[in-house]
Amino acid sequence: MSDDTLSSPDSSQPATPHRRRVRYSGKNPRRFEEKYKERDPQRYADTVAKVLASGKTPAGTHRPIMLAEILATLAPKPGELVVDCTLGYGGHAQEILKKIQPGGRLLGLDADPVELPKTEARLRAAGFGPEILTAIRSNFAGLPSALAEFGARLWSQTQPQQLENDERTAADASHTAVRRADCILADLGVSSMQIDDPARGFSVKTDGPLDMRMNPQRGFPASALLEKTSAAALAKLFPENADEPRANELAAALAGKKFATTKSLAAAIRTASPRLGKDELDLTVRRVFQALRIAVNDEFSALDMLLRHLPACLNPGGRVAILTFHSGEDRRVKKSFAAGLRDGLYAAIADEVIRPTPEERHDNPRSSPAKLRWARKSG
């Protein structure tokens, strides 16, 4: 039999190597990347549907909270400029982008270098190109600078010939191109993607390094904060950042200690609280983690700066909506809006805090602590 008889028409093409499915040791998957099928929603749509039906958030995603209330409060219109100060997974932004077309633009800010590129790619795939959506890696405390950068980009895109012949400096160009927003949204706190990923160190759901930084490229992790902070400072930090009633006892047990992982810290918190029942003990762990996260990311200082900048960043009649998840955040927003109304900066503010509906709290338990406040700038 000749070689020609044995050969197939495609024999000249290299064979595609067979790829075996990923295997893991033991009976059940243990690594975060292996365990949650919903992290690949295109392949496991049925799994995603089951997770959502059970009132949980699929791992690696984030469900936008109080979406209908935010859209009603901001009332975005075609042609307007909207700033989403905490782009996150892009759930709020995607719906707002639909409302401001044709002619509108959205500026999305997020300090997280891990999640921002993913969200931008996801929104681009949904049809929102660079002429509609601009994403900038920035903490919301830098809102004025981000608006100036956005204005400079927009100016350079619309007048390329003038830029070539213009002798003005880049600083002058930025100055002339400063924009103000018609709507500003800030969804505070931490996203589900960050909570669910053990490598970020935000929770004890799966063990991971005790980090908690929104931007892992800056600052110091929570492990370093605990190691260098005194008991007196921790005793002050826990009630301020998380309303923890047993601050002194916990501070004495944790201050100056080395905790490399989230579970080692959680174990120390539980050991320091032997008289508490399971539910109260779990709540204590969450409060300590929240207090450390706020401190690691200097969240209150960033919020204070955002609140100071808001009136100058809004067009006359512009609207702002802020979602908070802790009393310390809500107090700051409430006082700032009230002061702005008193000083004539705002024409109206929310009379009462807006909370998620019982249906939303049931379907998405992570929405339960959310509080929404809004303000409208004087015309």
- Are residues 324 and 278 part of one domain? no
- CA separation for the pair 283, 163 (Å, rounded): 57
The reported pLDDT for the residue numbered 61 is 62
* CB-count burial class (<10 Å; 0-12, 13-18, 19+) for 29: middle
Strand partners, 371: 324
Higher per-residue confidence, 53 vs 258: 258
- Are residues 156 and 240 part of one domain? no
- Are residues 89 and 166 part of one domain? yes
Whether the pLDDT of residue 31 is over 60: the answer is no
- Going from the C-alpha of 49 to that of each of 38, 57, 90, the distances in angstroms are 9, 10, 19
The reported pLDDT for the residue numbered 189 is 77
The reported pLDDT for the residue numbered 183 is 98
Q: Which tokens is 87 given?
A: 């782009």
C-alpha dihedral over 269, 300, 353, 79, to 10 degrees? Answer: -130
Whichever domain contains 266, its CATH number is 1.10.150
Q: Express each pLDDT in 84-123 by its tens digit.
A: 999 999 999 999 999 999 999 999 999 999 999 999 999 9
- Going from the C-alpha of 231 to that of each of 68, 141, 257, 291, 295, the distances in angstroms are 44, 29, 10, 14, 15
Of the candidates 216, 225, 247, the one whose C-alpha atom is nearest the C-alpha of residue 295 is: 225
- Are residues 349 and 283 part of one domain? no
Q: Express each pLDDT in 261-292 by its tens digit.
A: 999 999 999 999 999 999 999 999 999 999 99
Q: What percent of the chain has pLDDT over 90?
A: 69
End-to-end CA gap in the chain: 91
The reported pLDDT for the residue numbered 192 is 76
Whether the pLDDT of residue 50 is over 60: the answer is no
- CA separation for the pair 302, 92 (Å, rounded): 21
Whether the pLDDT of residue 52 is over 80: the answer is no
- Cα dihedral sign, 178-179-180-183: negative
Mean pLDDT over 172-183 rounds to 68
Q: Express each pLDDT in 194-243 by its tens digit.
A: 788 888 988 888 899 999 999 998 999 999 999 999 999 999 999 999 99
7 located within any domain? no
CA angle, residues 201, 209, 248, in degrees to nearest 5: 70
Q: Express each pLDDT in 140-149 by its tens digit.
A: 999 999 999 9
54 located within any domain? no
pTM of the model: 0.79
Is residue 366 within a helix (H) or strand (E), and if so which, with residue range? none
Cβ distance 241 to 328 under 8 Å?
yes
The reported pLDDT for the residue numbered 18 is 54
Whether the pLDDT of residue 25 is over 90: the answer is no
Number of domains within the chain: 2
Strand partners, 373: 322
Higher per-residue confidence, 90 vs 179: 90
Whichever domain contains 368, its CATH number is 3.40.50.150
Q: Express each pLDDT in 68-78 by its tens digit.
A: 999 999 999 99
- CA separation for the pair 166, 116 (Å, rounded): 34
The reported pLDDT for the residue numbered 24 is 47
25 located within any domain? no
- Are residues 147 and 254 part of one domain? no
Whether the pLDDT of residue 5 is over 70: the answer is no
Q: Which domain holds residue 134?
A: 73-191+313-377
φ/ψ bin of 31: left (φ > 0), alpha (ψ from -120 to 50), beta (otherwise): beta
Domain stops at, among 243, 265, 296: 296
Average pLDDT, the chain: 85
Longest dimension (CA), the chain: 97
